[in-house]
Amino acid sequence: MRNAIKLTTTLLAAGGLALGLTACGSDSSSSTSAGSPAGSSDKALVVAASPTPHALILTYVKDHLAAKAGLKLEIKEVTDYVTPNTAVQDGSADANFFQHQPYLDDFNKQHGTDIVSVEPVHLEPLGVYSKKVKSLAELPSGATVAVPNDATNEGRALKLLADNNVITLKDGAGTTATVRDITGNPKNLKWKELEAAQLPRALADVDAAVINGNYALDSGLKPATDAIAVEKAEGNPYANILAVKKGKESDPRVKKLAELLHSPEVKKYIEDTFNGSVIPAF
């Protein structure tokens, strides 16, 4: 599925983050240092992206559209939700493609970064999965439910459960809601807050888990068919975006990539490849 040259991603528990990325589909002609000056269209645009579906979409662009458009593209696969933004902030990558706007807003606030959205590209509906029950109504009293532990995705997960009448959230809880904002819990559910990437591996150990679309797909789950509840696309604010450090929006390579990501070819690729588990946001 992915031709990748594995490098090392290391998270340092104290003292910061050591950046190691996985090159996806890169070749000798696209090897370059990131942080090229704006307007240097002869340099490859380095984009940090989650493996599925983001790097797959970018690889389609690289293999089928980029050369004709005069764009050199280097894709770096990253499996966590911190490295892509720190890479863009410190210049290790020119852009990233993995997050939605509420997550980016919270990240900028928490870390003092100045990363901005270029364009929304697609929506990955958040889903509830279970190996033990076939519907939310079947969750037993005292069941354990795992949810993402990052600020915006936890709130998003709890909203999905609230929309399906599993819990009630206090008024105004918003996108940053946590389990402490639950005011009604008729099934007396217990909560396991985990890093989003760990949720698929934890599924067998809990009664249900709310899993981000990219991690569900990467673990072999199909949100459109395997989820026992899934987000609605209409009016959803969680479209995944192409993002850059503020000031790089005018980089002609970034503009070109944004244009290609909004092309009819990419729209068709998303629809044909992911069968409703990933939805174009344009």
- Torsional sign, CA 96, 102, 105, 109: negative
- The answer to whether the 4-125+237-280 and 127-230 domains have the same CATH topology is yes
Phi, psi of 103, deg, nearest 5: -65, -45
* pLDDT at site 250: 96
Kind and range of the H or E run holding 192: strand 190-194
Q: What is the CATH number of domain 4-125+237-280?
A: 3.40.190.10
Q: What pTM was estimated for this model as a whole? A: 0.74
* pLDDT at site 21: 53
- Cis geometry, peptide bond prior to residue 237 (ω within 30 degrees of 0): no
Strands 95-100 and 45-49: parallel
Local structure of 37: helix, strand or coil: coil
Pick the CATH number of 127-230 from 3.40.50.1220, 3.20.20.100, 3.40.190.10, 3.40.50.300: 3.40.190.10
Q: Which residue has the tokens 């989003």?
A: 196
| Domain ranges, ordered by start, for the chain | 4-125+237-280, 127-230
The rounded average pLDDT for each run of 10 residues, N- to C-terminus, in the chain (282 residues) is 30 30 43 44 93 97 98 97 97 97 95 97 95 97 97 92 97 90 98 96 97 91 93 86 98 98 98 91 92
Report the C-alpha gap between 148 and 242 in whole angstroms.
22
Kind and range of the H or E run holding 151: helix 151-163
Query: What is the side-by-side order of every strand in the sheet holding 229-230?
Result: 190-194, 144-148, 208-211, 127-129, 229-230
* pLDDT at site 40: 58
* pLDDT at site 9: 31
